């Protein structure tokens, strides 16, 4: 039943020649660094040309704001207010740089089995989004991933962060993982989505 409806909507969308104003995907960008030489993310805003036929909206929504703040970072009271008043809600569309996308992917392969989906934490490992918000620096982020962290280094009793320095699926991607978690901590990207990404940046030979 739903499929039929969706298909119908899709046909209508096609025949009307896209109701949603859309822009083509921007070009690749270089991996970014902030003024302190820490890795950071790049976002290009704009509605993409791939349309979800069931909602007639572009597929590259990267954040929902409630009264100007990321929905997963506001209080329950604020959320209720936003549920009641649609004018407080803003949907943002855009693309992340390829490095940040790679960080998202590596995170959800290697880190999320303990640190939870979307850097939100689990019953036994802290939320890295919160850790960054509370001031975890890139240098510390890097050191803990490379060397691990046990009770002796200040982890909660019974919790152990393994050392990933020798893991070729993790060690080369720490900068990208940091870019991803930073974007989550800054409220730039929402939960539960595959990041819409800019094309891969190729270094000039």
Interface with another protein (CB under 8 A): 64, 66, 71-72, 76, 79-80, 82-83, 89, 104-110, 112-114, 116-118, 120-124, 127, 148, 150-151, 158-164, 166-170, 190-194
With 0-12 / 13-18 / 19 or more C-beta atoms within 10 angstroms meaning exposed / middle / buried, residue 2 is: exposed
Residue 85 Cβ vs another protein, minimum distance, rounded to whole Å: 10
Residue 36 Cβ vs another protein, minimum distance, rounded to whole Å: 29
Question: What whole-number distance in Å separates Cα of residue 4 and Cα of residue 36?
Answer: 53
Question: What whole-number distance in Å separates Cα of residue 176 and Cα of residue 162?
Answer: 19
Q: Report the candidate in 98, 95, 54, 82 with the shortest Cα–Cα distance to residue 188.
A: 95
Q: In 3-state terms, what secondary structure has residue 29? A: coil
Complex with another protein: residue 8 or 137, whichever CB lies closer: 8
Residue 177 Cβ vs another protein, minimum distance, rounded to whole Å: 12
Burial 27-65 (b: 16+ CB within 10 A, else e): eebebeeeeeebbbbbbbebbbeebbbeeeebebbbbeb
Sign of the torsion angle spanned by Cα atoms 59, 131, 105, 23: positive
Residue 192 Cβ vs another protein, minimum distance, rounded to whole Å: 4
Complex with another protein: residue 30 or 90, whichever CB lies closer: 90
Complex with another protein: residue 137 or 159, whichever CB lies closer: 159
Complex with another protein: residue 20 or 120, whichever CB lies closer: 120
- Side-chain half-sphere exposure of 177, counting CA atoms within 13 A: 24
Residue 17 Cβ vs another protein, minimum distance, rounded to whole Å: 25
Q: Is the separation of the CB atoms in 185 and 127 below 8 Å?
A: no
Complex with another protein: residue 143 or 161, whichever CB lies closer: 161
Complex with another protein: residue 1 or 204, whichever CB lies closer: 1
Residue 32 Cβ vs another protein, minimum distance, rounded to whole Å: 22
């Amino acid at each position: 039943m739903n499929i039929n409806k969706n298909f119908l909507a899709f046909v209508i969308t096609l025949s009307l020649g896209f109701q949603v104003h859309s822009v083509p995907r921007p070009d690749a960008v270089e991996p970014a660094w902030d003024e302190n030489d820490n890795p950071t993310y790049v976002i290009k805003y704009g509605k993409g040309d791939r349309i979800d036929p069931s909602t007639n909206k572009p597929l590259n929504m990267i954040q929902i704001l409630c009264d100007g703040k990321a929905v997963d970072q506001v209080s329950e009271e604020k959320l209720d207010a936003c549920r009641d008043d649609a004018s407080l809600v803003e949907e943002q569309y855009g693309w992340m740089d390829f490095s940040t996308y790679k960080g998202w992917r590596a995170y959800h392969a290697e880190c999320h089995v303990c640190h939870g989906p979307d850097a939100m934490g689990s019953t036994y490992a802290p939320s890295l989004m919160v850790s960054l918000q509370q001031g975890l620096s890139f240098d510390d982020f890097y050191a803990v991933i490379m060397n691990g962290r046990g009770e002796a280094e200040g982890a909660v009793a019974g919790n152990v962060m393994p050392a990933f320095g020798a893991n070729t699926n993790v060690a080369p991607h720490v900068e990208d993982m940091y870019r991803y978690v930073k974007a989550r901590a800054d409220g730039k990207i929402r939960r539960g989505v595959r990041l819409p990404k800019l094309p891969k940046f190729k270094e000039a030979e």
